[in-house]
Every structure is written in C-alpha cells, then in structure tokens.
Amino acid sequence: MIRKAVIPAAGLGTRFLPITKAQPKEMLPVVHKPVIQYVVEEIYSSGIKEILVITGKQKRAIEDHFDRYEINKENNYVDELEEILNNLDIFFIRQKEQKGLGDAVKYAEAFVEDDPFALLLGDNITIPNCTRILMSIFEEFRAPVIAIEEIPIEKARYHGIIKGENIRDNLYRIEDMFEKPEEPGSNLAIIGRYILTSEVFDYLNELKEGYGGEIQLTDALKNMVLDGKEVYAYLYQGSRFDIGNKQNWLKANIELGLEDDEVGKEMKEWLEEFMKL
Ligand code: UTP
C-alpha cells in the first residue's frame, strides 16, 4: 500500500556548528552507522523500496554513503548495507534554499505523484520501527497519521504540538496543531515520522511563511484538519532519538552503544568505573 518514502535532510544543522560547516548532521555516527542509515533501514524493513532524499548544501556525503563501496576484505557492516542497497532505489533532489521543512517536502511532489507516502526526518531515529506501525494505522483509517510523544509541558513551546481527541489506546484524532506555540495547551509533541497523502501538497503550495519565517509542515497539516479532513496521531511507545542537538546525539551514542553486541560490554564497564569517580 505505501510504496514510497521521503527523507528531508536539507536543514543546515546550525546547532551542530562547526561540525556541519562541511558535513551533514545526518552523517553523524551513532555507534556504527550514520544517523540517516538508521532511517533508511527503518524504511527498508517496512517493505518500502523507493526513497527520495531531499538534500541541500554540504550534503554530498549522504549520496556517497548510499553508493556502492568495494573493499577486498569482508566487513559485516558494509555487507549488510550493500544487501539493503541492492534492494532499494534511492533518489536525490536538492532543496534550493533552506526555507523550512514544509518547503523541503514540496520537492517530493513529482516523486510522490498521487500515492500515499511515508515521511521520515533524516535526523531522527525510532527503535523499534515506528513507520511500520503508522502504516498499519493508515491501512485502517485511510487518512494521514503522524507519530507523537509525550514531553514535559515546559518544553512544549520548542516543538510542534497537537491537540486531539483520544479515540483509543495511543491513538488521537487531531483537532488542532501548533508549531512552537508560545502557550502550549498540550504536551503531545510531533516526532519525525508521518504517513501522508498527496493532498498535503495542495496545502503546502498555498502556505505562507510561519514560525521562524519558514514554511512549516505543521501549518499545512493544521489547515487540512481545520478544513475538516481526518488526520490521526499515534503516541509512539518506543525510543526516539532526535539527533538535531548535541546532547541528544551523545545520549543516543551512549544508550545504543550500551546495547551493542560489539562495544556494549566494554562501554558498560567503563561507564560504571567513570561514574564512581
Ligand atoms: P530542524 O528543525 O532540525 O532544522 O529541521 P535544521 O535546519 O536541520 O537544524 P538547525 O535548527 O539549524 O540546527 C527539521 C527537519 O527538517 C529538515 C531537516 O533536515 C530536518 O530533517 N529541513 C529543515 C529541511 O529539509 N529543509 C529546511 O529548510 C529545514
């Protein structure tokens, strides 16, 4: 049913300067892999075979990472990735100006055509697979569905927020949405996973700049909701790492590093010693 996925990865990543002067934040390593590889693997294990990555300035390394790589020695990490890449078609397009997430998504219109599609932010990791759950909700309701998480209310003004009616365990029908509201009326924050229909482009194409002078995807979805369209929100239960800032990137490396077969044991021993000091 969902055959296409879109990964916006064109943001400038200013919170990571100077690292992002010459390389994309999506290529930051989390244990063995760059962040965006986790995203591609989530798409692949959801059964989707066509991916469009929206890139921009200083993002060439992303395209190179998903190119073929020949080495003479066996390397499980490279072999695993090659296996996935043999079964995927990955396309790239450049966002011309960094005018916001909503503007980046507009570049996917020709790729998406009239199909529903998965949208995954290239700097977010969700374990276990969040997209697969969203796909099953989409199958049931045939309407857009986005993933959310509960956050402390005092942090809500830094996020996209939804207000909605709780229709069953972990599922809301959205009644309103706000991008970084000054006075948030809810602590349900949008995380970087969506299933959308091509109708979203009608709303994006109409949109004026919103918060921060950027074209906001949240505003397009809000207008859909206010027009009476059904949009659902799923309260994701797994671990989500938003690698958009340094603290979270370090936390992701520690948490996933501790769980890792190759480096986890040594890290745990070291961390225990370190915490004693
Ligand atoms: P962020 O809010 O994290 O912004 O974007 P950013 O520009 O990437 O990073 P900072 O704030 O400067 O540190 C959320 C998502 O939207 C994409 C980003 O790549 C990220 O996946 N995005 C944002 C675009 O693709 N284009 C844009 O113009 C802005």
268 found inside a domain: no
22 found inside a domain: yes
Q: Any residues with CB less than 8 A from the CB of 255 and at least 6 apart, and which?
A: 239, 241
270 found inside a domain: no
Atom of ligand 1 nearest to the CA of 244: 3
How many structural domains is the chain composed of? 1
pLDDT for position 74: 84
262 found inside a domain: no
Measuring from atom 7 of ligand 1, which residue has the nearest CA? 11
pLDDT at residue 70 above 90?
Answer: no
Ligand 1 lined by 93 (C-beta under 6 Å): no
pLDDT for position 68: 84
227 found inside a domain: yes
CA 191 to ligand 1 center in whole angstroms? 13
Measuring from atom 16 of ligand 1, which residue has the nearest CA? 101
pLDDT at residue 269 above 80?
Answer: yes
The answer to whether the beta carbons of residues 180 and 211 sit under 8 Å apart is: yes
CA 95 to ligand 1 center in whole angstroms? 11
Q: Token pair for residue 29?
A: 């390593």
Ligand 1 lined by 104 (C-beta under 6 Å): yes
Ligand 1 lined by 190 (C-beta under 6 Å): no
Measuring from atom 4 of ligand 1, which residue has the nearest CA? 11
74 found inside a domain: yes
- The CA-CA-CA angle for residues 193, 147, 144, to 5°, reads 85
Q: Token pair for residue 191?
A: 């995380």
Atom of ligand 1 nearest to the CA of 99: 28
Domain that includes residue 16, residue range:
4-256
pLDDT at residue 165 above 90?
Answer: yes
Place of tokens 């695993």: 80
276 found inside a domain: no
Ligand 1 lined by 100 (C-beta under 6 Å): yes
Measuring from atom 25 of ligand 1, which residue has the nearest CA? 10
pLDDT for position 277: 75
CA 123 to ligand 1 center in whole angstroms? 9
The answer to whether the beta carbons of residues 174 and 223 sit under 8 Å apart is: no
Confidence grade of residue 150 (pLDDT, cut at 50, 70, 90) = very high
140 found inside a domain: yes
CATH label of the domain that carries residue 247: 3.90.550.10
| pLDDT, tens digit, 9 for 90 and up, residues 91-121 | 999 999 999 999 999 999 999 999 999 999 9
